[in-house]
Amino acid sequence: MSRKDRPILAAFQFLSRFPIRVELDFTPDLLRRSAKYYPLVGAVIGLLIWAAAAIFSLALPALPAAVLTLVVWVWITGGLHLDGWMDTADGLLSYRSRDKMLEIMKDSRVGAMGVMACVLLLLLKMSLIVSLLEKGPFYTGLAFMTAPVWSRWFMTWAMRTWPKARQGEGLASHFQGFETRAAVHSGVLAFLLSASGMLLAEISLVGRGTELPWLQLLFYFLLHPILAWGMGTWAARRINAKLGGLTGDTYGALNEGLEVLLLLFAVILFR
């Protein structure tokens, strides 16, 4: 394995359960260099989720197919970001002091707020998957091939933009020094992957004689990064104001929140 390939493999090992049979030393340097490939991991996750949804839809109604699709989604990611979502909810919704919130988030045990936040998030995501499945494979693929890409891109932007809440400790500290150039590289990659995903979704309609809503598709493509950046920035600023920076848990929470928001955007736009 060449040194050039290691950051890509590290991104897949870190963010997913894909069977990458390579032993890697996750040094801070490798973690920083791997982060710019996060949108690529999102694209592959989206492709597999789309395939799983299509298979389940062949034999099942939309609701059970959506539940099984969500199970596969959580399994592929290893629940990594969901864990961050729950820990962040436990901390921020405790309404304690900054130090106490960080202490709560560091605790491996999940509290009532974290459980409620997780249940509500999964229910919303499941309902959105149902809506997309009922629209058909084109719209399902469109959403699955873009939302996981841009939500993971924003994590890289957050690493670059906001300080770390726990200086010198915690997962987020390993990304200290993540460069603007790498965040831009991640954004360009997200654009290319989104365009490729939309093209792949359009290929799924070949031979069906379906007329595409080109204006809506253009609007969808152009607004995705703006929506991810705008809402992600709003959320990250609020978290930063409470914690004095971001943590590894909040990166995961931002990913989960934006992923659901972008799925919701697709459902609203193509209703």
> What are the b/e assignments for 154-185, b being 16+ CB within 10 Å?
bbbbbbbbbebbbeeebbbbbbeebeeebbeb
Model pLDDT, residue 1: 47
In a domain, 141, yes or no: yes
Residue 2 is predicted with a pLDDT of 47
Query: Residue length, the chain?
Result: 271
The total of structural domains in the chain comes to: 1
36 domain residue, yes or no? no
How much is the pLDDT for 271?
A: 80
Render pLDDT for 11-32 as a digit per residue (tens, 0 to 9). 998 888 888 778 787 788 888 8
Structural domain that includes position 240: 61-269
Q: Is residue 236 part of a domain?
A: yes
Summarize the confidence of residues 168-183 as an average pLDDT: 74
Instruction: Assess if residue 26 is contained within a domain.
Output: no
Lowest mean pLDDT among 57-66, 162-171, 180-189: 162-171
Does a structural domain hold residue 22? no
Identify whether 122 is part of a domain: yes
Instruction: Please report whether residue 2 resides in a domain.
Output: no
Q: Give the per-residue pLDDT at 260.
A: 97
Q: What's the pTM?
A: 0.91
Per the CB < 8 A criterion, the answer to whether 156 and 35 are in contact is yes
Percent with pLDDT over 90 in the chain: 51
The pLDDT confidence band at residue 255, using thresholds 50, 70 and 90, is very high
Residue 13 lies in a domain: no
